[in-house]
Amino acid sequence: MSQLQMKKALLEGLRQICPCLDGTDELQVHETDWRGRHFANALGVTLPTTVEEVSQIVKFCRLRNIAIVAQGGNTGLCAGAVPVSGQSRWQLILSMRRMNHIRQVDPLTDSLTVEAGALLQDVQAAAQQVGRLFPLSLGAEGSCTIGGNISTNAGGNAVLRYGNTRDLVLGLEVVLASGEIWHGLRALRKDNAGYDLKHLFIGSEGTLGIVTAATLKLFPPLRQVDTALLALPSYTAALSLLKALQTQESLPLTAFELMSAESISLVREQFPQRLFPLDDKLKTYVLVEAGWSSRPQGDVFEQALERIWEVCDVQDGVVAKSEAHAASLWEWRELITEAQLRAGPHLKHDISLPAFCIPEFIEQTDAGLYSRFPGLRVINFGHLGDGNLHYNISVESVISEMDLQAMQAEIENFIYGQVCAMNGSFSAEHGIGQTKTQHLRHYRSATELSLMALLKRSLDPEALFNPGKVIIEHVESVGLI
Ligand code: FAD
Ligand code: MLT
Ligand code: ZN
């Protein structure tokens, strides 16, 4: 049988289970990552609507040695949801987007059960409809799925108050590599009956199982949310401001986001019609948000800011006067990712550090990069309240994509070397995908790597799920790459 005939037969077999796309045009968007940097051919894109269909697809692929790449909204920033090139076997994209129902919202237990392909913003809306809050929030919330959030253990803008996705999950339903379904949709707040299996799958980036549904924690809604954009003379001042705000009585901070002056300049260049509300010559900007589940007496937020304004050396600032005003301030933060994409060649470094090291890290790393690599622009922003910087790189127009690719390894090694020396992590919230597998090998100990490989081997002995992502030693050792 020719390759083409074999492909046709496989697709026909898959279509006995559920619809499957295979046209070149319709596949391309699923085969290319969000940044448009990684592309590899897939056998097709299968579109199940039930957990039973997912189970049948897994069994079908297992019998025929077809790899499965789970995909949600494909907004991941490490190319984990697209096939990898150089594989000797077919890779099937399993899109969860049609499996998107809210199964149950239960205000009594403050929980919500949802299928993995639901958009994050639809999960937020379902919680809001019953007077509750699902607090996970990130720039891609209109297109990422809850299954993708769980599989990457997404962070986002409200980690400071509510934790990472891992902290918001009560139970999971997962299809295992055997095709068996694990029914773990429990809504209990306490459950120490053996190992907590859901945590194996949370953050495993589709390498250990296919998440088909989740039971999530709900919270009281926020009756009042206050937002301010402030300018500061240094990163040290920004961190002192964070500490000062955290020690203010009755100021429940939900977000503390950083934007360097260079990040703001990039947004202004790419979106020239936008008017920045503060003096744009200052060093660094922070977006501060506090939320109350019962309305406070008086103007607590502005009063708190006034008390610390001078002590913390705040140089300029604006407090949002309405929800629309707050949204327009947030846009300066959320547009940075899009601005980098529009500006062309760029690198992403999603790092975390102990908070007290951050000013020194930025000073030393900026200086090292600017002296060694003329033409780079450090676009530093992110979740400062969590010690998580998106210490990204864009370039002056004299540097091409090819130039940057030639420098990439040296730049990354320099940045990650600094991170490692300060006991930080080279991957704070985006995961490993296919772009950071070599860094995982380098920066995790032999003990950690062999434990990860052992887990992979135990749960997915034939390396069916997402080969070439996260931990690849096992896949190599069984000769499947
Ligand atoms: P995908 O990209 O489709 O998949 C991501 C990984 O999960 C892949 O490895 C995939 O195989 C696996 N996967 C997906 N669904 C399943 C499933 N059902 N079962 C098993 N495996 C699965 N991330 C943050 O953490 N914080 C941010 O603040 C943030 N901001 C962003 C802003 C923008 C503008 C963009 C484009 C991205 C941002 N991201 C952020 C990254 C991304 O949105 C998150 O990683 C998100 O959780 C991915 O969800 P997704 O549905 O798009 O997953
Ligand atoms: C964000 O927080 O906006 C994204 O996680 C960062 C990025 O685009 O690098
Ligand atoms: Zn982020």
Q: What mean pLDDT do residues 37-42 have?
A: 96
Q: What mean pLDDT do residues 99-114 have?
A: 97
Ligand 1 pocket: which of 29, 37, 71, 346 to mutate (most atoms <8 Å of CB)?
Answer: 71
Kindly state the percentage of the chain with pLDDT values over 90.
94
pLDDT digit string, tens, across residues 358-414 = 999 999 999 999 999 999 999 999 999 999 999 999 999 999 999 999 999 999 999
pLDDT digit string, tens, across residues 131-148 = 999 999 999 999 999 999
pLDDT at 1: 84
pLDDT at 24: 85
Q: CA 210, CA 287: separation in Å to the nearest integer?
A: 36
**What is the whole-number distance in angstroms between the Cα of residue 368 and the centre of ligand 1?**
31
State whether 157 and 143 are in the same domain. Answer: yes
Q: CA 58, CA 67: separation in Å to the nearest integer?
A: 9
Does any domain span residue 338? no
Does any domain span residue 213? yes
State whether 281 and 264 are in the same domain. Answer: yes
Going by pLDDT thresholds of 50, 70 and 90, the confidence category of residue 476 is low
Which H helix or E strand runs over 182?
A: strand 181-184
Q: Is the CB of 100 under 6 A from ligand 1?
A: no
The amino acid at residue 212 is T
**What is the whole-number distance in angstroms between the Cα of residue 148 and the centre of ligand 3?**
15
State whether 212 and 244 are in the same domain. Answer: no
State whether 21 and 86 are in the same domain. Answer: yes
State whether 228 and 304 are in the same domain. Answer: yes
**What is the whole-number distance in angstroms between the Cα of residue 281 and the centre of ligand 3?**
24
Q: CA 13, CA 136: separation in Å to the nearest integer?
A: 38
State whether 163 and 123 are in the same domain. Answer: yes
Ligand 2, pocket residues at CB < 6 Å = 77, 139, 337, 348, 350, 382, 390, 392
Final residue in a domain of this structure, among 333, 355, 378:
333
State whether 207 and 106 are in the same domain. Answer: yes
Containing structural domain, residue 179 = 102-217
Please report, for the domain that includes residue 63, its CATH number: 3.30.43.10
Distances (CA, A) of 192 to 43, 189, 199, 364, 385: 41, 10, 13, 45, 31
Q: CA 368, CA 416: separation in Å to the nearest integer?
A: 13
Please report, for the domain that includes residue 173, its CATH number: 3.30.465.10
The ligand with the least distance to the CA atom of 117 is 1
Q: Is the CB of 95 under 6 A from ligand 1?
A: no
Kindly state the percentage of the chain with pLDDT values over 70.
98
Does any domain span residue 354? yes
State whether 116 and 184 are in the same domain. Answer: yes
Q: Is the CB of 154 under 6 A from ligand 1?
A: yes
Per-residue burial over 278-312, b = 16 or more CB atoms within 10 Å of its CB, e = otherwise: beeebebbbbbbbbbeeebeeebbeebbeebeeeb
Q: What mean pLDDT do residues 120-137 have?
A: 98
State whether 206 and 237 are in the same domain. Answer: no
Angle at 202 between CA 475 and CA 212, to 5 degrees: 90
How many domains does the structure of the chain reveal? Answer: 5
State whether 195 and 248 are in the same domain. Answer: no
State whether 402 and 461 are in the same domain. Answer: no
State whether 110 and 212 are in the same domain. Answer: yes
